[in-house]
Chain A
Amino acid sequence: MFSETKKLNRRSFLKVSALAGGGMILSFNMLTGCKPEEVGNLGLPKEWFKLNGFIKIGENGLITIMSPNPEGGQNVKTSMPLLVAEELDADWENVVVEQAPLDTDNFTRQYIGGSQAIRTSWVPLRTAGATARQLLIQAAAQTWNVPSQEIKTEAGFLIHEGSGKKIHYGEVASLAATLPIPEEVPLKKISDFKLIGKSHRNVDIKNIITGKPLFGIDYKKEGMKYAMIIHAPAFGQKLKSFDAEEAKAMPGILDVFQIKSLQDDYPRTFFDTVQFTDLIAIVGESTWQVLNAKKVVKAEWELIEAYTEERDMFGRPGKREVPAGLESESTQEEKMIKASQTPNQLRRDGNPEKAFAEASRIIEKTYTAPFLVHNCMEPMNFFADVQGDQMNCAGPLQKPELTEYALSVRLGIPIENINIEMTRLGGGYGRRSYAHWLIEAAVISQKVNSPIKLIYTREDDMTDGIYRSRYQLTYRAALDENNNLTGFHVVGGGLPENPLHQNRFPAGAIDNYLAEGWDVPSNVTTGSFRAPRSNFNASAEQSFLDELAEEIGKDPIEFRLELLKKAKENPVGESNDYDPERYAGVLELVKAKSNWGIEQAGISRGVSAYFCHNSYAAQVLDLKIENGKPAILKVTNAIDCGIVINPDAAKNLCEGAVVDGIGTALFGEQIFENGVPQKKNFDTYRMIRMPEAPKVIETYFAENNIDPTGLGEPAYPPVFAALANALYKSTGERFYKQPYIHQLENQSNS
């Protein structure tokens, strides 16, 4: 069931070896095998020849391309192999995609995170394809005894026009696999792309719509047992004792015991975030039996003392201060107010104090947002099989290679004896970067000496931590008597993280600029959440700029464009991390595509734009109020992410980001009382549903030949403010506090 790639070829990124077929079928579709009719038009080959870490070619011409990264809905399992296929000149119809396992020798950066998969693999993946193509050309040149320069390739065929010879790749794959790797291989000109820039369906679509096992939670192995955990109900508590006699006597229950996921003295790396390390584990024969036993375990909890967690942040030592106490909405707010009095300076341009002292008007607004839960639809889960000094495991992970180390240390098993198979993720959004549940699964398997699958209930997931931080931003603008913007002051803070990106727009566009930050330690664990920090910065900043434009008496798009013109022609400071021209480009594009400036009766419009993850996104949102509720009629997206690999899938991703952002802005919220997360399932944690989603979403991409940048995140942050700004137009009220639903409900009740 586990791929042989790692053992056969740990050190051969581009080393060539002829690889006999066989073990491949299982890993191609690891749980079900595959039906020949689903493997391209050619059926399965008798033998595979491996040209490099990404490409295997069968004697019949079928091509397997490895997809190196985990797939969680970003479409990388389609778009990354497309990059390889483009330079290989493959016929996409005769390509099958195989999910790679974690294999740090053959692949790099097998992550979901930071919207970087395509950006960082743009050259390496194309090079892998181009190198293999060159080997095939050389093999054909030897076979035909003609110069390799005279051989062309097209859609999986090698062609020699002079002699009229034409064969498919499979016919020389065995020879190609024995040839030395060429040193340098040219890549195609953009104008020669045949696959990139054209839409290709999700390679897993058929498996998804027919309910095939694809996800970690679907994983099953002979003899596998089912496991669940119980964690402390409140942040600030730990396990004191428990009584599991009744649970142990229940049908199908094999054992109930205490585990420790991470040892207290283990210096945690960046993604080893977890608050509840002392857990009760329940193991049984079926999920339902374990669920029932979980309900009758009697546990006592006690308060934690404050402590300092040693951290290893990508090689830099770090610390996390973990205070004692059971936090509540009100106590958190008191701490935030106190901390915000003494912020640290993050950036200062010109003389902001003078600008504010001399201002004829100062506009000041404060924005807040609560903790958020990722709520991946597939609850956290993992399969683990620890046997002696060997571990095989499988499941949904965003950063498997960063988890491997923690696993190895915790289990006392060498990293090379740990095999991690990456299943499809039923959503990630940052949550599955923190893989404490994999370590828990491994510790449980080690204890019971059996393969197990650990499953979290929805309640476990929603109350377990790794939330988006609770945030606040205060903006101040100084205006002179002619309504010129003379000074800008932003103070960002959060519990426990300050969200502010001090070098982002409008930094660079204003002569007198001050950015400050503060933070409050908390025992509530937080971490990456789709477009970390940006998801709140954009909502606050773009709401404030909208209000500021109105105060100054300017069109909100024109106001932003004027600032961007200044940032381009006469930038302030040297570390501005955005390109004002591309930023203005998406505003111009959304202005044109949304017919900005043409009013429609009863329809309110809001605009917003943001830069993050190396890409630019602008949005115009149209809504009207129906029966006291906002009906979102249309969102127009303008995106500059450079070259678009798979346009229809890219649009899908942007549409999803818009829906996700609107849902989070309207409803997203986790709150605490005495350390206890108050929202435990979807009956209280409201998620956006079909009737609340926009009726129409249009997405337009800036057309350029810039190397591709991120797309999984950039369309998410700006839509919060596009919504807030449109809501202001229709209700006459500004929205400063997320989620917006509370203010909307107050409006309709009054």
Chain B
Amino acid sequence: MATYNLTINGKSLQVDADPNTPMLWVLRDHLDLVGTKFGCGIAQCGACTIHLDGNAVRSCQLPVSAVENSEITTIEGLSGEGDHPVQKAWIEHDVPQCGYCQAGQIMSAAALLKNNPTPSDEDIDNAMNGNICRCGTYTRIKAAVKTASQNL
């Protein structure tokens, strides 16, 4: 066990954890930030996507010992009131069905638009390819990313 000083959603937090503990479980078990979801544990489904210094990463593969000097953003910190353009577009298109994968989808989409505010269809496909939606809401996700792009 070791103590880590983390910056999560703009706040400084201290966590006691084994150095290898993936951020996914630090967020969920230690910090009660459960919006970041467990789906596969091997970076194949994207449900655990968070931002590390603004880039989308899979938190199930990110040990707590590697992030002390980085800024972490989770779905809970993406916006103050759920009003990030991506979140607003998700509401406009009423995207979710079961909703489980959607935090990861939103985090991938927000990172895409930060780096590429006007993505092509192919750019969207490539950026979102790592996020599985078992309910099959892909057409709405894509439409919502385009709407968000227009409203940035």
Which residues of B, 113-133, contact A by the 8 Å Cβ criterion? 121, 124-126, 128-133
B42 adjacent to A681 (CB under 8 Å): yes
Measured between beta carbons, the chain B residues less than 8 angstroms from A687 are 45, 132, 134
With A and B bound together, what is the CA distance between A660 and B137 in angstroms?
A: 9
B56 interface residue per 8 A CB criterion: no
A377 interface residue per 8 A CB criterion: yes
Measured between beta carbons, the chain A residues less than 8 angstroms from B135 are 73, 427, 656, 660
Q: Which residue of A lies closest to B27 (CB)?
A: A211
A220 adjacent to B32 (CB under 8 Å): yes
Known: A251-B18, A286-B29, A683-B44. A209 touches B36 (CB 8 A): no
A427 adjacent to B35 (CB under 8 Å): no
B152 interface residue per 8 A CB criterion: no
A214 adjacent to B99 (CB under 8 Å): yes
With A and B bound together, what is the CA distance between A656 and B101 in angstroms?
A: 14
With A and B bound together, what is the CA distance between A212 and B33 in angstroms?
A: 8
Which residues of A, 662-708, contact B by the 8 Å Cβ criterion? 663, 681-683, 687-691, 693-697
A343 interface residue per 8 A CB criterion: no
Number of chain A residues close to chain B: CB under 8 A: 66
A211 adjacent to B103 (CB under 8 Å): yes
A287 interface residue per 8 A CB criterion: yes
How many CB-defined contacts (below 8 Å) exist between A and B?
Answer: 190
With A and B bound together, what is the CA distance between A302 and B37 in angstroms?
A: 36
Pick from A199, A211, A458, A657: contact of B76, CB below 8 A. Answer: A211
B42 adjacent to A682 (CB under 8 Å): yes
With both chains docked as a complex, state the minimum distance between the C-beta of A694 and any C-beta of chain B, in angstroms. 7
With both chains docked as a complex, state the minimum distance between the C-beta of A570 and any C-beta of chain B, in angstroms. 40
A379 interface residue per 8 A CB criterion: yes
B82 adjacent to A210 (CB under 8 Å): yes
A689 adjacent to B132 (CB under 8 Å): yes
With both chains docked as a complex, state the minimum distance between the C-beta of A684 and any C-beta of chain B, in angstroms. 9
Pick from B33, B78, B125: contact of A691, CB below 8 A. Answer: B125
A682 adjacent to B128 (CB under 8 Å): no
With both chains docked as a complex, state the minimum distance between the C-beta of B113 and any C-beta of chain A, in angstroms. 15
Which residues of B, 81-105, contact A by the 8 Å Cβ criterion? 82, 87, 90-91, 94-103
B47 interface residue per 8 A CB criterion: yes
With A and B bound together, what is the CA distance between A379 and B48 in angstroms?
A: 13
B25 adjacent to A375 (CB under 8 Å): no
A455 interface residue per 8 A CB criterion: yes
Known: A210-B35, A211-B36. A690 touches B18 (CB 8 A): no
Measured between beta carbons, the chain A residues less than 8 angstroms from B78 are 210
Measured between beta carbons, the chain A residues less than 8 angstroms from B149 are none
Known: A209-B102, A288-B29. A379 touches B39 (CB 8 A): yes
A201 interface residue per 8 A CB criterion: yes
With A and B bound together, what is the CA distance between A458 and B40 in angstroms?
A: 5
A426 adjacent to B99 (CB under 8 Å): yes
With both chains docked as a complex, state the minimum distance between the C-beta of B18 and any C-beta of chain A, in angstroms. 7
Measured between beta carbons, the chain B residues less than 8 angstroms from A286 are 21, 25, 29-30
Measured between beta carbons, the chain B residues less than 8 angstroms from A731 are none
Q: Using an 8 Å CB-CB cutoff, how does the interface string of A253-295 with B read, 1 for contact, 0 for none?
A: 0000000000000000000000000000000001111010000
With A and B bound together, what is the CA distance between A681 and B42 in angstroms?
A: 8
With A and B bound together, what is the CA distance between A75 and B98 in angstroms?
A: 8
Measured between beta carbons, the chain A residues less than 8 angstroms from B44 are 681-683
A659 interface residue per 8 A CB criterion: yes
A206 interface residue per 8 A CB criterion: yes
Q: Which of A218, A687, A689 has the most CB of B within 10 A?
A: A689
Measured between beta carbons, the chain A residues less than 8 angstroms from B129 are 689-691
B91 adjacent to A287 (CB under 8 Å): no
Known: A226-B29, A251-B1. A377 touches B45 (CB 8 A): yes
Pick from A72, A202, A375, A682: contact of B94, CB below 8 A. Answer: A202
A349 interface residue per 8 A CB criterion: no
Measured between beta carbons, the chain B residues less than 8 angstroms from A428 are 98
Q: Which residue of B lies closest to A661 (CB)?
A: B136
Measured between beta carbons, the chain B residues less than 8 angstroms from A663 are 136
A682 adjacent to B40 (CB under 8 Å): yes
Q: Which residue of A lies closest to B44 (CB)?
A: A682
With both chains docked as a complex, state the minimum distance between the C-beta of B119 and any C-beta of chain A, in angstroms. 12
With A and B bound together, what is the CA distance between A288 and B17 in angstroms?
A: 10
Known: A659-B138, A690-B142. A378 touches B98 (CB 8 A): yes
B141 adjacent to A690 (CB under 8 Å): yes
A303 interface residue per 8 A CB criterion: no
With A and B bound together, what is the CA distance between A660 and B36 in angstroms?
A: 24
Which residues of A, 193-219, contact B by the 8 Å Cβ criterion? 199, 201-202, 204-206, 208-215, 217-218
Measured between beta carbons, the chain A residues less than 8 angstroms from B76 are 210-211
Task: Spot the interface stretch: A51-59, A156-164, A609-617, A645-653.
Answer: A645-653
Q: Which residue of B lies closest to A208 (CB)?
A: B99
B97 adjacent to A209 (CB under 8 Å): no
Q: Using an 8 Å CB-CB cutoff, how does the interface string of B2-42 with A read, 1 for contact, 0 for none?
A: 00000000000000011011100100111011111111111
Q: Which residue of A lies closest to B125 (CB)?
A: A691
A438 interface residue per 8 A CB criterion: no
Known: A208-B102, A427-B135, A689-B129. A681 touches B22 (CB 8 A): no
With A and B bound together, what is the CA distance between A215 and B97 in angstroms?
A: 13
Measured between beta carbons, the chain A residues less than 8 angstroms from B20 are 288
Pick from A206, A218, A658, A660: contact of B91, CB below 8 A. Answer: A206
A552 interface residue per 8 A CB criterion: no
With both chains docked as a complex, state the minimum distance between the C-beta of B25 and any C-beta of chain A, in angstroms. 4
A121 interface residue per 8 A CB criterion: no
Q: Which residue of B lies closest to A426 (CB)?
A: B100
B106 interface residue per 8 A CB criterion: yes
Measured between beta carbons, the chain B residues less than 8 angstroms from A652 are 94-95, 97, 137, 140
B59 interface residue per 8 A CB criterion: no
Pick from A204, A209, A688: contact of B82, CB below 8 A. Answer: A209
Q: Which residue of A lies closest to B106 (CB)?
A: A209
Chain B residues within CB distance 8 Å of chain A: 1, 17-18, 20-22, 25, 28-30, 32-42, 44-45, 47, 74-76, 78, 82, 87, 90-91, 94-103, 106, 121, 124-126, 128-142
Ordered by A's residue number, 16 sampled pairs between the chains whose C-beta atoms are within 8 Å are: A202-B99, A205-B90, A210-B75, A210-B76, A217-B34, A217-B37, A220-B34, A288-B18, A377-B134, A426-B100, A426-B101, A429-B134, A648-B94, A656-B136, A689-B129, A693-B138
Q: Beyond A211-B34, A286-B25: 14 further Cβ-contacts under 8 Å?
A: A72-B98, A204-B99, A212-B35, A288-B21, A377-B45, A379-B38, A458-B42, A652-B97, A660-B134, A682-B44, A688-B136, A689-B131, A690-B141, A693-B139
Counting from the closest, the 7 A-B pairs by CB-CB distance are: A211-B35, A659-B136, A426-B100, A73-B98, A73-B97, A211-B75, A656-B136
